[in-house]
Chains A and B, each alone.
Chain A
Amino acid sequence: MKGTPLSILILTLLLVSVAAKAQMPHDVLYMPRKTTCLALTYGQSSWNEYWEGTLKRDNLNIGTHTTQTASLMAAVGITDRLNIIATIPYVRTSTSAGNLMGQQGFQDASAWLKYRLLDKKGLSVHGVLGGSVPLTNYVVEFLPMSIGLQARTATGRLIASYTHAPTGLYLTGHGSYSWRSNIQLDRNSYQADGRVYNTSEVRVPNAIDLGVRVGILKSNWQTEVFAERFAGVEGDNIRRNDMPFPTNKMEMTTLGWYGKVQPRNLGLNVRVGYVVEGLNVGQSLSYSLGVLYQFNY
């Protein structure tokens, strides 16, 4: 991803300019029928302060907490208005201080169906159905080191967008509701909601996420700024000086920028996000870098 391949990539970008598209579960782009986009993405997210309930704090026994993610994504054009998007991530956690052992492994595979419901005079509405399942039996009760929550999820999402065709300027908003399944701990008792549950089964809060993005989309490049809001619909707070737990009501508001260049088959995307406000989460600064390749067949 670094060094030579990247310079070749940039060179390629400068040399070719035929429309190609890579798309995501929250945007309004579609792979045309008989095309598939593969993306290999590396992301890193770090925080040294977090919200313990509403209390913002640091933790000298964690220092800076880092999550690295490498994921493989495929977006398949079933028709021009129906796409399937699937992702497999490999996640690794670590800290700069203290003695909590980092965890790593394949996390949750997700798949999305995106369908254009309406497209009229630049205004479009899209429905997205998604689901995720854990790929491995990773440990869940060791937050913040655990790589995920083990919950199976199902998400319903609506996206509305307006594009000003002459300039490529667009405004997109989405709202989703995610059902998240109960999970099993290795332990057979735990504390949540101020009581002890004498079972290994844990309720993971369902969640909503919202997003607004403004940007410019041209045939071979895209730039946008976005605001995203994620919030569990219920849950408890991390108690004073306790560790996080899957029942926590996690909330965060992220501001960021996303950009993409894809002159022909090969492309590159970059995302930067910063959590400006949260509850029971780390105030993370994250970035990711993806290499895209479009197959036509």
Chain B
Amino acid sequence: MKKYTFLLSYRALIMGFTVLFVATSCDKTIQEPAIPAYAPTSTDANAGTWKTYVLTSPTEVAVPAPAATGSAAYQAELSSLKQQSATLTPAQREKVAYWGAGAVYRWNEIARELAARYNLPPAAGPDGKYPVPDAANPLSYPAFPFANPPYTARALAYLSVAQYDALVSAWHYKYKYNRAAPALTESSIKAALPATGIPAYPSEDAVVAAASFTVLKAMFPGEVPYLEARMKEHQESRLWAGMNVQSDLTAGAELGTAVAAKVMGRARTDGMGSSNNQSLTAGMIENAKKLGVTEPWVSQEVPARLPMLPAYGFLNPWNFDKATVVKLRPEAPPAVGSTEFQKALDELKTIQKNQTREQARIANYWSDGVGSYTPPGHWHRTAANAAHEARYSEVRMARTLALVGTALMDAGICCWDVKYWWYYPRPQQYGLKTTVGTPNFPSYTSGHSTFSAAAAEVLGHVFPEQANKFNAMAVEASNSRLYGLIHYRFDCEAGLKCGKNIGSYAVAWAKADGAGQ
């Protein structure tokens, strides 16, 4: 009997250790998807002729002719490069691989990261009022900016446009001067990244780094030292990789900086400065009441927070004019209290009672709320990954993101115009709870739906074989707001329709920009 008991306890202990072992894998390092370097499927040699957004011509910023490959100056650069790329520390190797994933790809990712870091609504002060972030004091609380969806849509749009315009210009000079990659001129230089077959002067990496730095330091003024460090690291990684000599980088940085400065010239006059003009809301509410919205939106936060960027709808769009913003407004939402309204509200009440795990998953997957890179960031990531999978050249990757980015900002402008035109109440004003957090602006139409349909429309044009997938993603993103209980079905459906129309303007641009698909 005693033996039996001993065996039993022994078994129990073994079982305990098994539980311990199974319950934990010792390595808790987070594995993120590896983003490999690649040789682009096409050099896009004619990209110097593609249509630009802000530049009037690819030669608007001059790039001086490089030293001839036979010159003493260039030979000195080559031997310096040979030395710098000969032996790398593990840390340098890691940086080479990181930036090798793609200049546009990485800077888009950095911008999304900053957006997420700055996407926090300020806390109310002791007086019950919410302080407004101050661009002149970006690091004192509340930090500037509050990178909410409209802010992020705009920051990423300017980033992508600056990268694209600068790269079109760079491509013009690359094929004008035709200076081959260092490893092709000096065979003893072993490049650590795949050869692209694209002329090396000016360096596309330096162009993108400098253009991105110029835009992002304006969008996230508290992050200048961080951005400087990233830019420096990016440039150095090209030397370590044996991909560019210093003069490739210097010329690229100058071009990128100059083009981005011109792009930021547009940003200064696009209307963002007055997008938080709260004195307009009284008139907007009056207008909505005249239109028949008997119970206009009110903030669901305690204390009540002023609505997010009520004049963002007045910004200058990219792919159409301001008159078109008005033209793109959807049909009227159902009257509050009407049968149609009640039906939509009842649908939400049913979901609230029986939200399935799959509905919760969809709501969470697309929530892109506080602390995230927002829906525009989500779609930039989707676009960047699709372009990476397609092994696009830097310039075509930038074009893809500029098409999507401008469409997303246009979607933000149109959606915010509609939101403050109708000033429509949120379901929370009728007792609904939420599983994703209630956004602090009017309900009609759904921002997620508008952003997503616009981006999917553009991506469906660029990657036609994946159009169905992108459309399905947009529909799921749209439904997620229903499942999260913060939008009526009619908010989502109207948003999808508007978004598709908005995206079609970027598609029209794409069809005529000289880049083909």
Contacts and interface: CB of A to CB of B under 8 A. Distances in A.
Interface of A: 33, 60-61, 78-79, 82, 84, 97-102, 111, 113, 115, 129-133, 137, 139, 141-142, 145, 152-154, 156, 179-182, 185-191, 194-199, 201-203, 239-243, 245
B8 A78 contact: yes
Interface in B359-390: 360-361, 364-365, 367, 370-373, 381
A111 B411 CA distance: 53
A194 B226 CA distance: 13
Nearest to B115: A196
Main secondary structure of the interface of A (DSSP, over half): loop
29 contacts: A78-B12, A82-B12, A99-B300, A100-B433, A100-B435, A101-B352, A101-B433, A101-B485, A115-B13, A129-B13, A129-B19, A131-B22, A132-B23, A139-B357, A139-B435, A154-B19, A154-B21, A182-B30, A187-B364, A187-B372, A189-B116, A190-B371, A195-B113, A196-B112, A199-B31, A203-B30, A240-B120, A241-B121, A242-B120
B8 A182 contact: no
Contacts of B70: none
Contacts of B355: 101
Contacts of B25: 181-182
Contacts of A131: 16, 19-20, 22-23
B28 A182 contact: yes
B455 to A, nearest CB: 16
B33 interface: yes
Given A195-B113, A243-B371, A129 B123 contact: no
Contacts of A99: 300, 428, 432-434, 438
A180 B113 CA distance: 27
Interface centre among B360, B434, B438 (most CB of A within 10 A): B360
Given A61-B302, A111-B19, A131-B20, A199 B33 contact: yes
Contacts of A84: 12
Contacts of A152: 22-24
Nearest to B6: A79
B29 to A, nearest CB: 8
B509 interface: no
Given A139-B364, A243-B371, 7 more contacts: A101-B485, A102-B433, A131-B19, A152-B24, A196-B117, A198-B33, A240-B141
A179 B24 CA distance: 7
Contacts of B9: 78-79, 82, 115
Contacts of B428: 99
B19 A197 contact: no
Contact of A142 (B21, B121, B435): B435
Contacts of A201: 30-31
Nearest to A245: B371
Contacts of A179: 20, 23-24, 26
Given A33-B5, A196-B112, A189 B434 contact: no
B17 interface: yes
Given A82-B9, A131-B23, A191 B365 contact: no
A191 B116 contact: yes
Given A129-B17, A131-B20, A186 B364 contact: yes
A82 B485 CA distance: 50
A187 B365 contact: yes
Closest 5 CB pairs of A and B: A186-B364, A101-B433, A131-B19, A241-B123, A60-B302
Nearest to A240: B123
Contact of A113 (B13, B109, B300): B13
A180 B22 CA distance: 11
Given A99-B438, A113-B12, A196 B116 contact: yes
